[in-house]
Amino acid sequence: MTDQIGSPTRRTVVKGIGAALAAPLAAPFVAPALAANNAPIRFACVAVQSGPAGVADHGDYINGCNMAAEEINAAGGVNGRQIKIEIHDIDILTPEGVQAAMRAVCDTKPHAIGTAFSLVRVPMLEAMGDYRAPYLSGDTNIELITFAKKNRGKWWNYFEVDPPEIYYGKMFPKFLDTLSAGGVWKPTNNKVHIIREQNQYNMVIADEVKANIGNSKFELAEITDIQYPVQDWGPTMQAIKKSGAGVIMLDYWLGAEEAAFCQQFVADPVKGALVYIQYGPSQPEFLNIAGGAAEGMVWSTVLGVYNDAKGAEFRKKYSAKHTGVIGLCYNGSAYDTLYILKNAWGATDPDNFKAVCDYIRTHKYRGVTGGFSFDNEYQAALHYPLQTQSLDDGMAQLYFQVQDGQHKIISPTPLAETKFRPFPWA
């Protein structure tokens, strides 16, 4: 059960809500108790549907929400009540955009709110005002969960369903040490060249690499800053050629533009250099655009669909509904989010937001993207292996390599589908 709330612009979303409120009530009288027992449980799916950034990830999120709701409803719903997905558009790039969207969402009084992510995070949370429905997002952001932690008396309803971005930077030197010790990859040198987008997310990741690389055998050679959107990778190619580093870290997040980087790189590569790409290859357009240029590239995500029994079943069901290259992050995240809420709603009154949030915080869940344990100071998913050594309690940071045109998990070992192999320009 899915509804589109408004149209792909904030103006029409707000206008539509105003018109709905102004319309006369035509429904027949229904006894309050009966209505409460049979009324759908409403989930507000806040997702970008047009614009320059976020459409791919948010489209995956919508798909994951719908898939979970269809399964739950087909099995009888939650104590006989159906889950209704209500989709709200959002502009994730500006404070005005996220605040307008969240206020419009809260005005509709849903039982819970979820989104893949926003690029303006704290203002989006604050825009909830006094409305305290459970709010779950995959923002991967230390600033947001720190803000919520410091104001927990107010923001007890917020949960981050993945570990924050700091772990990308903390893990990267460890991953390089482990990979180089495996014997397949022999670095041409131990220098690391970071190509960094100048937003908070990517700068935090780069800062963590700088803070932790001294504990490895690798060293930072250079940082080259880029600015979204990247329309010409030429200057960047010149910079990495000049540094000659044995490791190139593309600290960015847009799959389509990272694909363009790969195409230019393989045309004239830095011979023997390992290329690690931040997150973006999880988006379907990366493989679609990069084609053969993606072969051998390494990437990772702290929020990814496993390929264990649970994850493989999800991938199979999702692929049956969505042909071609599938996303490997936010479809699974949304799917897990709905099941986390389904369990909480089943054990409590969905209208009692505090009880629902208390249940989410105190009950673990093992989904297709890993284990969820929110009973911690940040109310955020725990990173495996840096915050927990248990795959049932945390979410594994998955490292992939593109092999034969497919994303294959190469680390961590308990979840690996295959081993790392030499890249074509070695």
Closest alpha carbon to 258 in 225, 222, 285: 285
Alpha-carbon gap, residue 253 to 48, rounded angstroms: 16
Residue 407 has what pLDDT?
98
The separation between the first and the last C-alpha atoms of the chain, rounded to the nearest angstrom, is: 51
Q: Mark out the alpha helices in 214-352 (DSSP H runs).
A: 234-243, 255-267, 284-290, 309-321, 330-347
Query: Is the pLDDT reported for residue 239 higher than 50?
Result: yes
Q: Over the stretch 364-416, which tens digit does the pLDDT of each residue have?
A: 999 999 999 999 999 999 999 999 999 999 999 999 999 999 999 999 999 99
Q: Is 179 exposed, middle or buried (0-12, 13-18, 19+ CB in 10 A)?
A: buried
Contact 282, 329 (CB under 8 A): yes
Residue 157 · residue 131 · CB < 8 Å: no
Structural domains in the chain, CATH included, are: 2-163+309-392 (3.40.50.2300), 166-301+396-415 (3.40.50.2300)
The confidence band for 36, taking pLDDT boundaries of 50, 70 and 90, is low
**Please, what is the average pLDDT of the chain?**
93
Could you say which DSSP state residue 327 is in? P
pTM of the model: 0.92
CB atoms under 10 Å from CB of 354, counted, come to 12
Q: What is the pLDDT at residue 18? A: 37
Residue 258 contacts residue 250 (beta carbons within 8 Å)? yes
The model's confidence at residue 52, banded by pLDDT at 50, 70 and 90, is confident
List, in sequence order, the alpha helices (H) in 30-54: 32-38
Q: Is the pLDDT of residue 257 over 80?
A: yes
Q: How far from 88 is each of 4, 8, 114, 115, 240, CA to CA, in Å? A: 7, 8, 10, 10, 42
Q: What is the pLDDT of residue 319?
A: 98
Give the whole-number percent of the chain exceeding pLDDT 70. Answer: 93
DSSP annotation of 214? G
Residue 5 pLDDT = 73
- Is there a contact between 88 and 114 (Cβ–Cβ < 8 Å)? no
DSSP class of residue 323 equals: -
The per-residue pLDDT for 212 is 98
Q: pLDDT per residue over 178-216, tens digit each? A: 999 999 999 999 999 999 999 999 999 999 999 999 999
